[in-house]
Amino acid sequence: MPELQLIDLLIVPQWIVPIYPRATVLEEHAVAVRDGLILDILPLSEARRSYTQAESVFLPGHALMPGLINLHTHAAMSLMRGLADDLPLMRWLNERIWPAESSFASEKFVHDGTLLACAEMLRGGTTCFSDMYFYPGAAAAAVERAGMRACLGLAVLDFPTPYAADADDYLNKGLAARDALRNSSHVTTCLAPHAPYTVSDRTFEKVLTYAEQLNLNIHTHLHETHDELAQSKKQHGMRPLQRMAGLGLLGPGLIAAHGVHLTTGEIELLAERGCHIAHCPTSNLKLASGTAPVTALLEKGVNVGLGSDGAASNNRLDMFGEMRLAALLAKGSSGNAETLPAWQAMEMATINAARALGMDEQIGTLQPGKYADMVALDLNCLETQPCYDVISHLVYTAGREQVSHVWVAGEPVLKDGQLLSLDPKEILERTKAWQKRLRTTH
């Protein structure tokens, strides 16, 4: 009889949805984890003959899938959830959000807001997010404390905030933060010029130079509203995407958030250059920005991931909600019920987002050699019965309230719905203190 291999963890759910191979569901299988990586996914009978484990987790009636990836958010803005609802984007920014940030943005604000966001995302099955905000060092401290992953966008604008005085100051502070975080196992960085309407050509050119020299992605807002397009045509004589193309910014390292208003030619250009879109369906609807042409983007081969945007404009960091809404909007806007099926919505929230971040060899699917970033959902409750097609169920029926367990690199961060890496009581106390301050002033 062959000697059994020692592993750290064996997880035995009822269903495994690995994402790859596409639309696959495995039953009576197990996931073997060693040193934070997926060692094997194999029939349970074979697992018992092959491995001995330090810990076994049996999850009858549960589905196991990769951790969700939120491709566009502003985590610290969770402290402004509900502060400025029911306003269009530019009034929302100019009248409420930017004034609040000028009064309160600080390292402590970002740390505490990011902690709140991390707690919400982990409880909802999100194990990695792509952020864009100030004070990246403070955000990184919260992410590492939570035990999840993040790609922190190093914000760049052409106007002053409490964080930085001008574009050069943003870049210098961002690059210093990048250097300080280079050895982090959970945090990566990218350059994040806020948007074409807040960043000059000169600044974009500097961003591109640093991105090329340091092999960093670029994360920006793009074509979110009609106002943005009109302002660009008035100021630059062209649409934002055309301007960015002329500056050399379009390429496989570009993550463009929103992409709501795109022509056929612009979609073809994005596909040709290998750019990525972070689709934020809830935020786009709430700010009345419009509905992104996701069907056309996918048909042309543009890689589309899903994002929540910040909790100040969503007001949830709920990737299960984004999957469901993205699928429904695509069907309704295209008039084709077969558009964006459940398996494809799941890809947008996992492997597509990982590909946009350049992390598709590490996360985004359950495969041997990748990090054991995994989420289990309990489908035993009345609201999720009966279950005929588990992939369909995970998109259209289940929600973040069904998330029972979360692992990041094989380490449990949520067990039986309870956070292990963060203290909810402490986070609530911090949040209420900030709420009192913001309510008094704004």
Supply the DSSP string of 91-152, one letter for each residue.
HIIIIIIHHHHHHH-SHHHHHHHHHHHHHHHHHTTEEEEEEEES-HHHHHHHHHHHT-EEEE
Q: What is the mean pLDDT of residues 65-90?
A: 95
Nearest to 81 by CA among 120, 139, 111: 120
Q: What is the mean pLDDT of residues 370-390?
A: 97
CA distances from 75 to 72, 166, 352 (A): 9, 23, 21
Q: How far is Cα 174 from Cα 433, in angstroms, rounded to an integer?
A: 28
Q: What is the mean pLDDT of residues 91-115?
A: 93
Is the pLDDT reported for residue 379 higher than 70?
Answer: yes
Place 149 in a pLDDT band, splitting at 50, 70 and 90: very high
Q: What is the mean pLDDT of residues 73-94?
A: 92
195-239 residue pLDDT tens:
999 999 999 999 999 999 999 999 999 999 999 999 999 999 999
In this structure, is residue 15 part of a structural domain? yes
> CB neighbours of 419 closer than 8 A, spacing ≥ 6?
119, 122, 123, 413
For Cα atoms 418, 416, 62, give the angle at the middle one, nearest 5 degrees.
140
DSSP 253: T
Q: Give percent above pLDDT 90 in the chain.
A: 95
> CB neighbours of 327 closer than 8 A, spacing ≥ 6?
340, 341, 342, 344, 345, 395, 396
Which strand ranges, in their side-by-side order, compose the sheet holding 303-306?
Answer: 68-73, 126-133, 149-156, 187-193, 218-222, 254-258, 276-279, 303-306
Whose structure tokens read 């496989």?
252
Does 57 lie in the same domain as 160? no
In this structure, is residue 424 part of a structural domain? no
pLDDT at 440 (0 to 100): 75
Specify whether the CB–CB gap between 381 and 387 falls below 8 A.
no
pLDDT at 93 (0 to 100): 87
In this structure, is residue 362 part of a structural domain? no
In this structure, is residue 431 part of a structural domain? no
Specify whether the CB–CB gap between 369 and 37 falls below 8 A.
yes
Place 442 in a pLDDT band, splitting at 50, 70 and 90: low
Does 162 lie in the same domain as 260? yes
Does 235 lie in the same domain as 130? yes
Q: What is the mean pLDDT of the chain?
A: 97
Does 46 lie in the same domain as 19? yes
Is the pLDDT reported for residue 441 higher than 70?
Answer: no
Place 66 in a pLDDT band, splitting at 50, 70 and 90: very high
In this structure, is residue 426 part of a structural domain? no
**CATH for 32:** 2.30.40.10
Residue type, 225: T
Does 314 lie in the same domain as 249? yes
pLDDT at 374 (0 to 100): 98
Q: What is the pTM of this model?
A: 0.97
Does 50 lie in the same domain as 76? no
Radius of gyration of the chain (CA): 21
pLDDT at 90 (0 to 100): 87
Q: How far is Cα 225 from Cα 3, in angstroms, rounded to an integer?
A: 62
Does 254 lie in the same domain as 115? yes
Is the pLDDT reported for residue 34 higher than 80?
Answer: yes
Does 284 lie in the same domain as 267? yes
Q: Which helix (H) or strand (E) holds 155?
A: strand 149-156
Q: What is the mean pLDDT of residues 406-413?
A: 98
Q: How far is Cα 65 from Cα 374, in angstroms, rounded to an integer?
A: 6
Q: How far is Cα 277 from Cα 230, in angstroms, rounded to an integer?
A: 21
Does 352 lie in the same domain as 283? yes
Q: How far is Cα 143 from Cα 421, in angstroms, rounded to an integer?
A: 10
273-305 residue pLDDT tens:
999 999 999 999 999 999 999 999 999 999 999
Does 75 lie in the same domain as 51? no
Place 1 in a pLDDT band, splitting at 50, 70 and 90: low
**CATH for 220:** 3.20.20.140
The region that residue 119 occupies, defined by phi over 0 for left and psi between -120 and 50 for alpha, beta otherwise, is alpha
Q: Give percent above pLDDT 70 in the chain.
A: 99
In this structure, is residue 369 part of a structural domain? no
Nearest to 292 by CA among 357, 373, 250, 348: 348
Please identify, among 356, 390, 417, the residue that sits at the C-terminal boundary of a domain.
356
DSSP 302: -
Q: What is the mean pLDDT of residues 79-96?
A: 90
pLDDT at 26 (0 to 100): 98
Does 253 lie in the same domain as 160? yes
Cα-based torsion angle of the residue sequence 234, 239, 245, 250 in order, rounded to the nearest 10 degrees: 130
Place 72 in a pLDDT band, splitting at 50, 70 and 90: very high
Is the pLDDT reported for residue 427 higher than 70?
Answer: yes
In this structure, is residue 413 part of a structural domain? no
In this structure, is residue 174 part of a structural domain? yes
Q: How many structural domains is the chain composed of?
A: 2
Q: How far is Cα 361 from Cα 164, in angstroms, rounded to an integer?
A: 35
Is the pLDDT reported for residue 65 higher than 70?
Answer: yes
Tell me the residue range of the domain where 161 lies: 68-356
Q: How far is Cα 292 from Cα 87, in angstroms, rounded to an integer?
A: 19
**Could you tell me how many helices (H) and strands (E) the chain has, helices first?**
17, 17
